[in-house]
Structure 1
Amino acid sequence: MVRFKNRYITIEVCSSEVPENKPLALKSYLFHEALMDKIQQLHGDFGIAAVRTGLLTKYCNENTRIAIIRCRHGPHKFVTSALPFLTKVGKLDVTLRTLHVGATLKHSFVFIQKHQRSYLDLMWSKLKTDDERKALEAAVLDFTKTDVSLNKEGLLKL
């Protein structure tokens, strides 16, 4: 039995079209397709073949605009090299920032919690009522938005 090592890439999706206080309509399958197209463009068939088996968008949060991508160790270099060149996801113009590359999903979530805590402190000063603050905190610290089923459907098309 062979153990496959994975890398979890934490990225921040920035868009000048949508204001910061509005949620970004970021669907994981659209992001997956755009990333695969960019890897095809930059690294060709070899890059696609190396990345295809292990690439999966594990987490997308529309409020904080953070996503986690899982890929195999080794071909993760193709993914990290293609991320800065990805400028369009669906019909939305985006800029991607790589925040963290980790070996486990747990460490990625620990990093995201620290990062989102600082985001939450920044956004709390802009909200007026406690209800708005509680709703924002619940949305920011929600780690249940994984669309793995959508990713698996997208992988079956390839």
Structure 2
Amino acid sequence: MVRFKNRWLLVELIPAPNPNSSTVPLDGHKIWEAVRQSILNNFGDVGWGSVGLSISVKYYSPTTNICIIRVARDHHKIAWGAVTLLTAIEGRRYIPNVIHLSGTIKHAQLAAISHNREVVARYRAQAKTPSAYQDSYEEYLQTSSMEIEALQD
């Protein structure tokens, strides 16, 4: 029996400041379409043929703008390059930041949960609230951790 080996990219999509663009809510399908178009533009049909069957967006959080992308191990560099070269999704400019590359979903989950905690800490620091203060972010951390841990390969 042969196991299908994957790589898991943890990507933060930082919205670029642009006062003229409207805020379009993202979801996994829109991100997948943008990555697909980036692969086709930068690597052509050969690039898409090598990763097209294996690439999928497993998780996206609109609060912290992170997503987890699964791709086959043999061609993960094409997906990584396409994500890095991504400039806009649905007409809105984004700056992609690959935070973590993992060989297992478990390590991607741990990195995502850790990153969520860092982002919430930054939000709290900007709001100048003490770390022990109970706010809506506490509930978000719990629900996002449960969603991330529930991901299956």
What's the TM-score, normalizing by structure 1? 0.79
**Is contact 1:124–1:133 with CA below 8 Å preserved after alignment?**
no
Question: Structure 1 residues 92-101 or 120-129, which shifts more?
Answer: 120-129
Deviation at 1:16, TM superposition (A): 2.2
- Matching residue of 2:48: 48
Aligned partner of 1:72: which letter?
A
Q: Which runs of 4+ in 1 moved over 3 A?
A: 127-130
**Percent identity among equivalent residues?**
25
The residue aligned with 1:67 is 67
TM-score norm. by structure 2 comes to: 0.81
Letter of the aligned partner of 1:8 in structure 2? W
2: CA distance between counterparts of 1:60 and 1:116?
Answer: 12
Classify 1:119/1:49 alpha carbon distance in 2 versus 1 (closer, same or farther; 3 Å).
Answer: same
Tell whether the 8 Å contact from 2:24 to 2:90 is kept in structure 1 after alignment: no
Report what 1:153 is aligned to: none
Name structure 2 gaps, 5 residues minimum.
Answer: none
2:68 aligned counterpart, secondary structure: strand
Taking structure 1 as reference, are residues 44 and 5 closer, same or farther at Cα in structure 2, changes over 3 Å only? same
1:7 touches 1:71 (CA, 8 Å); kept in 2?
A: yes
Instruction: Give yes or no for the alignment of 1:137 onto 2:138.
Output: yes
Contact preservation (8 Å) 2:24, 2:92: no
**Which structure 1 segments of 5+ residues have no match?**
149-158
How far did 1:127 drift? 6.3
Aligned to 2:106, what secondary structure does the other structure show? helix
Secondary structure of the residue aligned to 1:86 is coil
d(CA) in 1 for partners of 2:90, 2:108: 26
Q: Rate the CA distance shift 1:58–1:118 in 2: closer, same or farther, 3 A.
A: same
> What is the match of residue 11 of structure 1?
11
